[in-house]
Structure 1
């Protein structure tokens, strides 16, 4: 595997510290001292204009005087020196820069101008820049401590990424006292170049990082952020603390959805969809830092509580009730096992009180019995120091038990001076221990939530199965016409036409310019009818008494139409277009719902669902989700609202057709995926009963899209690229399907790799591996279509669908080129598969606006090289390996 392009920044072979000093308290002094004391094994060069040596190391006046390659330059001098120094570093061939100048004012125009100039210089030379940041970075697992931090950083398996130097330093100070270690500590600072997304991207590929802790203040590139988060969370636990949850002002908007959806709700949903757990406080962050290294997992929310003090145990029970954590009944076999050794006066059900004088052996036996219960997903052990207890022996018993189970054991070690030694022992063994039962319960809830979010991460909505394809041509024509006429808002008829194009049921709506035309329309559709004002730019007609319901006679239609038009002409003038007439839908068992779309500045389109009607903003019952949706995600969106309780059967009401609601949600998801012009949408009310759903009113607002926008570039999560699915045939006429890979293809990929010959495996993977590891399997099948593509060729075999070839590419950091690979089952070579797969890859690359496809081919693989020539690839010598050829095709 090629080295990650950020390796010179985070694991440099050589470092120059510009501004290295011996002045007490200076950043250059701290950084250079930390590198020496940390045992950095690479080449280290202090750069100082005034001193010949720094801490007994020869100093250089400028970086150009070093005369040897330098991977990383750390600049600690004042900001006024940066233009000259950064330019010199770039010209010298430095691969990465960290700016740690302390005199930056991040919000000042002057500083912003300087940062922009620095970025232009770095981009010109292809140099990556971290900061400006006061802290810098550390890589304890590689004995690299280049941070501006006066303390030791222990090596561990958890990475810390922070947008704040002060928060990073505070966490490190706490971690030092708690014996918590890190694989990497990275402070992004102003993030003029390197951001959260790229940093996470590096940590995903880092084998020394097993979990990630992230402190975020803002997100500048939601697509990159989500892409990297989802990639990381597929293989490693990721927890995020985000500040700035409240914007502090009243939100104004043109639609209900726009006003109801807050940016923090969107961020919260984005993290859930990414399979990430969100933390709510610095205290939770500290707790997460203690728990993450244990890599705990839980299958559900069922918690058993074992305590030697019922009062302390009830604290846990109360907090579990607050968080809706189940305290399950123990199985009869578990209760019988407890009965065999617990005193008669003990409580033998959940919570289990093993009495105040419980010995370490009693704690061990009770915990062991409960862990074996199939009704239990995790165990909380609450220890209180009392006469007869042994805190050290009990801690040792819990440490031993943790090695025998994959269920989480959480420990509430209550007390102070009496349990200090045993807490240190628990910390040494990375046990999840807490000073209060409530904290332990909260962690269990977090573990269960994280596991639930992992299920959301696995959802990759594909095409809508057997559903009718939308009429995209008609929908786009309506949108283009509105934009060409300078209109942002579609009227009700246009909005409903868009919904019909996506097969969402809507009420018939007819425009009437006069009372006579309204009567004619009413006769045509049948009574009773509804009249609505049709005014350009008027969103909420009920606010101006512009809706009349249930008109049962033609006389009433005429009278009300004249009344509405008379008042509206005086109030709205030329903006009045007339009236709309539609049938009165009065469903005996109907429920009023709302489905909407708003556009978040960072994350793009967001779908909302909740209670509808005129009081939608009063009840504020709304949940949000990022598209694309499938049935699982649509069902999840519905279940996160209070109105879900009205959709089931109650009193004399039959259950509503929830499948119809999910169908509307998935159709709206499809709509915003394919129509990036849509900025806001309201379907309110959406009436649903036992027979289906129908949209009574709709309003859409649009905006033009950038000329060179990538397909689905408006979305934080790239949908399944169903446009790349082809049903074709091989040279021998056998039917074949060519399509993007899906997570559920994992088993077929395992069989595919196992069936390859050693020669084919070596030509593709440059090794003779016989099977993919679990992490490789996840990485190959659960892809982010925004930055990579994998196409599979499938045929129908005796046991069903089978994969016979795979081609893939990964987008390079320049986002202008990609690196590809292709492998074909030996039995299916020579049948025309390769050409079709590669043409599919070329199409996908063009959709992403890429200009170049490139790759590595073994020099000995003459068949592949000949194939590359036929496809128009240019073949040259590989710049780094004589055993390889470099192949490049311009699209």
Structure 2
């Protein structure tokens, strides 16, 4: 749904507990204890038809008897009574409800779809939000709300935890309690009938009491909503996730190699990565990662240098680097020269830098300064082992002193041991310097930083759905529709290669032969040697039934091979219909790597692109990476780098590097094919040969199905809307370009604000803005096109002179607008045209209303709104703000709107 009324969940003025009880051990008694003992400052009213008082507080027989309105209700009642209770609460003005487990066993939980739907139907007329059912409830520490059946109240903190598992919620609370770890909010979603991950991510992204968000995910219901909200949240604060259920059993029914390899967990992993989140696999890692990311360290690469006073500890750390997405840095010659003046002559002059066990604070500090200046390292891990000849505390103080003048320097620390290390760890923690107990934990933390930084880079990428201008889309679409019209679900090899050709993916010439004799004649025309394959719609993988023969050098050999294929298929797959054979040249590219590239469909996240090492043993090797479309060259190359075969593609010994541009381009073209042909469910190119001369597809398979969904509507991430580019003519005769905003427009937004009159800036932001911080500019330029749109107006010299945006609720019904025109561009009609274009976009996406808040003194904006058909009303509780609202269905679009021309 939306974040609407979630403020009633976390900041209620009064709370009602429906189903409160005095019976020891009952759900009603547990929740009553938690609510009353948490320290909530507002009234807590209880409802139970059989009790006079609950915990010495006056009880009410029914919701209707409550003497005041409540914002939040906690419902612990039998399932068949919940819809009626929700209705009564809505009538009393309640805006949010937590529906807990009502009874003592599974038979008494809200289990059926009918029960859930009745509950939601009861809530809808009142816009009442429902958390649950069948969860533990939630805890919010600052307002002292414990609306849960959890066994303890956590300490205050600035980390939010949202979980689909009640058991995991309890475990995390227990784990954190023993370690003094605090939370801002703890939310158990239960069945997520209404409030889900998307809603919580949207809310927590803007919650100033939350510094980081932790998720425990079992499954995602609405992929686009999750990705949209997750990408917005991850731009403003770390989002760290544990995903349960890492198996890929759901892929077993796939018809292609790609479908089998793209297991559901791999797709979830790709989704988290693309959303800018960090995935971890253990509970301990979850909290380690929070501490690491909270330090604010920003990496520029993946190279780690290790500074240690113990060789063994350094070796342990080096070994751990092998298991993370990072590598050891190589010391620059000038760094070695500088260290020679600091470290005793016996040191190895390599990474790890062993400064010997007698290293005092001065040596630690001097060595750390040198390593921080080394351009060959992106971070430094400082290790310390207890020593009888040097003071560990003094070494820690030296590190702290160095970092006092280098805020957020990329330094991690690990003081080994207990007694000698405890004080140092406390001092590091007090200054938010990341510190760990063991070298492998510290290296794993560096891996978290590397992964997080890479994911944040992916988050900045906003590729369009289509980047190539000349695919023969009509030809490919006609062929797919022909196959579906014949009642087939699989294209033949020749048909599949024809589709690839339409998208400029090189394929080997392939001919179809009906008989062994025809195959021999085709082979003679192509030239020797050749490859022959069986042609059958009944066979998924030809090699499995002996349906492929290689390196044939005569017509007789081709005919014999065809007859051997017929016999082999009859033995291994009796009943399979053989339509003929395909004949193609035997491609000899000795330096080429066999790859697989393809498309699969995930039931949660929709279509995905897969890449990895190919060949007949592709599923045994299991070397693959998955990415969500749309793709561009940057995302495609990152995808390639996540595979083991990438090292072979980079070249080795006498094998030159492969044409990585051609490999990445193939993946981008496959993503574009997905945008154009939603009928494609699975696609294999295996093998795709890649060498220094480019790529060529030797075999291809495509599975199709009927669908009426547009291609990009299946995507979990909405592409950059590159088609919405216009030219606007201003009243002074000048022209500006108008296009959707991109992340790289952030500096231009800052420049726009700085070049505008402070009074104009105050009108835009409804208050004084002394500075325009990076986070605000990033949030305004890095948007999710599924629910937002921002157009930037750009002068011929490249300067941004205006921006207009709408942000819609997830229901896609209403949107808030905002507009700003650079002060020196006012009076040229730019503001009117920007508003006209954004309203045209709102109409196109089916929004019903557009609204905005305008300062009462902002006469020009109020007049412009009235000219466009907005109705001006009193705003919120602030008398200085007016609310302007436009009913799009009742207001026709101006002539030419949406085209930019002549406005």
The two structures share one fold, judged by TM-score above 0.5: yes
C-alpha change, 1:662 and 1:846, in structure 2 (3 Å) is: farther
3-state SS of paired residue (1:818): strand
| 2-structure distance, mates of 1:347, 1:521 | 66
C-alpha change, 1:859 and 1:500, in structure 2 (3 Å) is: farther
| 2-structure distance, mates of 1:567, 1:368 | 70
Instruction: Answer yes or no: is the 8 Å Cα contact 2:141–2:185 preserved in 1.
Output: yes
Is residue 824 from structure 1 mapped to residue 821 from structure 2 by the alignment? yes
Which residue of 841, 849, 858 corresponds with 2:838?
841
C-alpha change, 1:10 and 1:514, in structure 2 (3 Å) is: same
Is residue 491 from structure 1 mapped to residue 492 from structure 2 by the alignment? yes
Question: Which structure 2 residue ranges, 5 or more long, are not aligned?
Answer: 890-903
1:23-102 equivalences in 2 (<5 Å): 23-79=23-79, 81-101=81-101
Is residue 751 from structure 1 mapped to residue 748 from structure 2 by the alignment? no
| 2-structure distance, mates of 1:422, 1:731 | 67
Instruction: Answer yes or no: is the 8 Å Cα contact 2:3–2:202 preserved in 1.
Output: no
* Equivalent residue number for residue 740 of structure 1: 740
Which residue of 436, 452, 458 corresponds with 2:454?
452
| 2-structure distance, mates of 1:460, 1:70 | 43
Once structures 1 and 2 are overlaid, which stretch shifts more, 164-173 or 357-366? 357-366
1:320-335 equivalences in 2 (<5 Å): 320-323=321-324, 325-328=326-329
3-state SS of paired residue (2:221): coil
* Equivalent residue number for residue 699 of structure 1: 701
Once structures 1 and 2 are overlaid, which stretch shifts more, 399-408 or 267-276? 399-408
| 1-structure distance, mates of 2:354, 2:644 | 37
Cα deviation per residue 1:527-586 (whole Å; 9 max; x = unaligned)? 655444332243323333434445555666667667767998998879544344444433
3-state SS of paired residue (2:133): coil
Cα deviation per residue 1:751-794 (whole Å; 9 max; x = unaligned)? 22223334543443223436532111111111111121112222
3-state SS of paired residue (1:275): coil
C-alpha change, 1:304 and 1:187, in structure 2 (3 Å) is: same
User: C-alpha displacement at 1:424, in angstroms?
Assistant: 5.7
| 1-structure distance, mates of 2:308, 2:357 | 8
Cα deviation per residue 1:231-258 (whole Å; 9 max; x = unaligned)? 1221211211112112468834211111
Once structures 1 and 2 are overlaid, which stretch shifts more, 318-327 or 100-109? 100-109
Instruction: Answer yes or no: is the 8 Å Cα contact 1:710–1:849 preserved in 2.
Output: no
Instruction: Answer yes or no: is the 8 Å Cα contact 1:275–1:450 preserved in 2.
Output: yes
3-state SS of paired residue (2:112): helix
* Equivalent residue number for residue 683 of structure 1: 685
3-state SS of paired residue (1:814): coil
1:133-144 equivalences in 2 (<5 Å): 133-144=134-145
User: C-alpha displacement at 1:285, in angstroms?
Assistant: 2.0
Cα deviation per residue 1:327-383 (whole Å; 9 max; x = unaligned)? 445567766776777677888865455555666666566556655555444444444
1:365-444 equivalences in 2 (<5 Å): 367=368, 370-371=371-372, 373-387=374-388, 403-405=404-406, 406-416=408-418, 432-444=434-446
| 2-structure distance, mates of 1:3, 1:618 | 46
User: C-alpha displacement at 1:13, in angstroms?
Assistant: 2.6
3-state SS of paired residue (2:737): strand
User: C-alpha displacement at 1:447, in angstroms?
Assistant: 1.7
C-alpha change, 1:23 and 1:437, in structure 2 (3 Å) is: farther
User: C-alpha displacement at 1:202, in angstroms?
Assistant: 0.7
Instruction: Answer yes or no: is the 8 Å Cα contact 1:855–1:888 preserved in 2.
Output: no
3-state SS of paired residue (2:461): coil
* Equivalent residue number for residue 761 of structure 2: 761
* Equivalent residue number for residue 18 of structure 1: 18
User: C-alpha displacement at 1:611, in angstroms?
Assistant: 2.3
| 1-structure distance, mates of 2:85, 2:670 | 53
C-alpha change, 1:310 and 1:856, in structure 2 (3 Å) is: same
Cα deviation per residue 1:175-213 (whole Å; 9 max; x = unaligned)? 233222222222212222111121111111112211122
* Equivalent residue number for residue 896 of structure 2: none
Instruction: Answer yes or no: is the 8 Å Cα contact 1:180–1:289 preserved in 2.
Output: no
1:81-480 equivalences in 2 (<5 Å): 81-101=81-101, 103=103, 111-113=111-113, 114-247=115-248, 251-323=252-324, 325-328=326-329, 350-353=351-354, 367=368, 370-371=371-372, 373-387=374-388, 403-405=404-406, 406-416=408-418, 432-462=434-464, 467-480=468-481
Cα deviation per residue 1:215-271 (whole Å; 9 max; x = unaligned)? 212222222222222212212112111121124688342111111222111112222
C-alpha change, 1:402 and 1:803, in structure 2 (3 Å) is: same
User: C-alpha displacement at 1:419, in angstroms?
Assistant: 5.4
User: C-alpha displacement at 1:96, in angstroms?
Assistant: 0.6
| 2-structure distance, mates of 1:147, 1:397 | 46
Once structures 1 and 2 are overlaid, which stretch shifts more, 764-773 or 434-443? 764-773
3-state SS of paired residue (1:723): coil
Instruction: Answer yes or no: is the 8 Å Cα contact 1:724–1:844 preserved in 2.
Output: no
Once structures 1 and 2 are overlaid, which stretch shifts more, 691-700 or 36-45? 36-45
Once structures 1 and 2 are overlaid, which stretch shifts more, 188-197 or 814-823? 814-823
User: C-alpha displacement at 1:847, in angstroms?
Assistant: 5.5
* Equivalent residue number for residue 885 of structure 2: 887
| 1-structure distance, mates of 2:659, 2:334 | 42
Instruction: Answer yes or no: is the 8 Å Cα contact 1:753–1:770 preserved in 2.
Output: no
Instruction: Answer yes or no: is the 8 Å Cα contact 1:179–1:427 preserved in 2.
Output: no
C-alpha change, 1:46 and 1:778, in structure 2 (3 Å) is: same
Cα deviation per residue 1:563-610 (whole Å; 9 max; x = unaligned)? 767998998879544344444433454433221111111111111112
Instruction: Answer yes or no: is the 8 Å Cα contact 1:298–1:448 preserved in 2.
Output: yes
Instruction: Answer yes or no: is the 8 Å Cα contact 1:330–1:349 preserved in 2.
Output: yes
* Equivalent residue number for residue 538 of structure 1: 539
3-state SS of paired residue (1:315): helix
User: C-alpha displacement at 1:95, in angstroms?
Assistant: 0.7
| 2-structure distance, mates of 1:300, 1:49 | 64
Q: TM-score, length-normalised on structure 1?
A: 0.89
C-alpha change, 1:576 and 1:140, in structure 2 (3 Å) is: same
